[in-house]
């Protein structure tokens, strides 16, 4: 069963075709990876799915509904959340506060109610804090709960971003280069974390340049080059695809996998 279907997606910027007639589906409960050389259009696909960019054409179907035209907050409410290629944490807030911020779509704790601190908002706050600690524990950051985001090492910031995204209780989690800047040990931890996320019943779509990781974790891989899909399938099919190998010439695709 598919949780998300992208149909004939096109995105242009002036004369540049960032995404060209792209169609693919994401199977529920699996890990799908989106790979391709720099500038292939991968992040643009995430930006279209999450409502940050409005596609020039095509449809994005989720839960029987076309998401195109919906603003990002409505897409989060429907159960899609993401992390960013360039980490976007609240740097001056602590780790636990960052995770709490991810929950606001679920608590419905409006600004006025929080300001006047009604009984309900105090209860909500306690609830949010408890849940935030649980997500911090889930990603292995409990010991750093009161560190400002900016004080954390890079790899921990990436995991904190994942915790914040999980706090919105997504059905579908989009990870944009979650392993970037991580050393080998951190990458291994990340793989284990992604497996645990899938065990929670959350579907994952991941963009990454680390072929070793992508090949290990993915059930299905979609390959983009210049905004077009050039291949898709299980890791073993994609690894041996001639067009994929050609697209990666100069990027040492074989060595990386």
Measured CA to CA, the distance from residue 161 to residue 250 in angstroms comes to 31
Selected from 2, 8, 13, 126, the binder of ligand ATP by CB under 6 A is: 13
Please identify, using beta-carbon distances, which residue of 39 and 57 lies nearer to ligand ATP.
39
Interacting stretch for ligand ATP, rule CB under 6 A, among 31-39, 115-123, 150-158, 189-197? Answer: 31-39
- Least distance in Å: CB of 142 to Mg ion? 30
Residues 177-216 within binding reach of ligand ATP (CB under 6 A): none
Residues 78-117 within binding reach of ligand ATP (CB under 6 A): 85
Please identify, using beta-carbon distances, which residue of 97 and 161 lies nearer to Mg ion.
161
Selected from 22, 32, 36, 98, the binder of ligand ATP by CB under 6 A is: 36
Interacting stretch for ligand ATP, rule CB under 6 A, among 33-41, 125-133, 213-221, 240-248? Answer: 33-41
Q: With contact defined as beta carbons under 8 Å apart, do 31 and 221 qualify?
A: no
38 CB-contact burial (10 Å; exposed 0-12 / middle 13-18 / buried 19+): exposed
Task: Write the binding mask 39 to 58 for Mg ion: x where contact by CB under 5 A, - elsewhere.
Answer: ---xx---------------
Please identify, using beta-carbon distances, which residue of 42 and 220 lies nearer to Mg ion.
42
C-alpha Rg value of the chain to the nearest Å: 19
Binding-site partner at residue 38 among Mg ion, ligand ATP, none, CB < 5 to 8 Å by type? ligand ATP
Query: Contacts with ligand ATP: how many residues (CB under 6 A)?
Result: 12
- Least distance in Å: CB of 158 to Mg ion? 14
Selected from 3, 6, 9, 44, the binder of ligand ATP by CB under 6 A is: 44
Binding-site partner at residue 51 among Mg ion, ligand ATP, none, CB < 5 to 8 Å by type? none
Residue 3 as a binder of ligand ATP (CB under 6 A): the answer is no
3-state secondary structure string across the chain? CEEEEEEEEEEEECCEEEEEEEEEEEECCCEEEEECCCCCCHHHHHHHHCCCCCCCEEEEEECCEECCCCCHHHHHHCCEEECCCCCCCCCCCEHHHHHHHHCHHHHCCCHHHHHHCCHHHHHHHHHHHHHHHHHHHHCCCHHHCCCEHHHCCHHHHHHHHHHHHHCCCCCEEEEECCCCCCCHHHHHHHHHHHHHHHHCCCEEEEECCCHHHHHHHCCEEEEEECCEEEEEECHHHHHCCHHHHHHCCCCCHHHHC
Measured CA to CA, the distance from residue 143 to residue 65 in angstroms comes to 41
Please identify, using beta-carbon distances, which residue of 45 and 100 lies nearer to Mg ion.
45
Query: Contacts with Mg ion: how many residues (CB under 5 A)?
Result: 3
The site for Mg ion (CB under 5 A) is made up of 42-43, 85
The site for ligand ATP (CB under 6 A) is made up of 13, 16, 18, 36, 38-44, 85
């Amino acid at each position: 069963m598919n949780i998300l279907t992208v149909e004939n997606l096109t995105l242009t910027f002036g004369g540049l075709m960032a995404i060209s007639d792209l169609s693919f589906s994401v199977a529920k409960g699996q890990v799908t990876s989106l790979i391709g050389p720099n500038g292939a259009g991968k992040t643009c696909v995430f930006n279209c799915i999450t409502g940050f960019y409005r596609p020039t054409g095509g449809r994005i179907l989720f839960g029987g509904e076309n998401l195109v035209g919906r603003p990002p907050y409505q897409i989060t409410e429907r159960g899609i959340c993401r992390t960013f290629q360039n980490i976007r944490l609240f740097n001056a807030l602590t780790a636990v506060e960052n995770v709490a911020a991810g929950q606001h779509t679920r608590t419905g704790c409006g600004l006025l109610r929080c300001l006047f601190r009604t009984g309900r908002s105090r209860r909500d706050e306690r609830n949010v804090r408890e849940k935030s600690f649980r997500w911090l524990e889930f990603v292995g950051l409990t010991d750093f709960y009161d560190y400002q985001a900016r004080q954390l090492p890079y790899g921990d910031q990436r995991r904190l971003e994942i915790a914040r995204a999980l706090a919105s209780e997504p059905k579908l989690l989009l990870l944009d280069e979650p392993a970037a800047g991580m050393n080998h040990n951190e990458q291994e931890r990340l793989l284990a974390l992604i497996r645990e996320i899938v065990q929670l019943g959350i579907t994952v779509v991941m963009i990454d340049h680390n072929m070793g990781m992508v090949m290990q974790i993915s059930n299905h891989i979609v390959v983009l080059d210049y905004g077009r899909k050039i291949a898709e399938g299980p890791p073993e099919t994609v690894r041996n695809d001639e067009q994929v190998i050609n697209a990666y010439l100069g990027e040492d695709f074989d060595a990386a996998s």
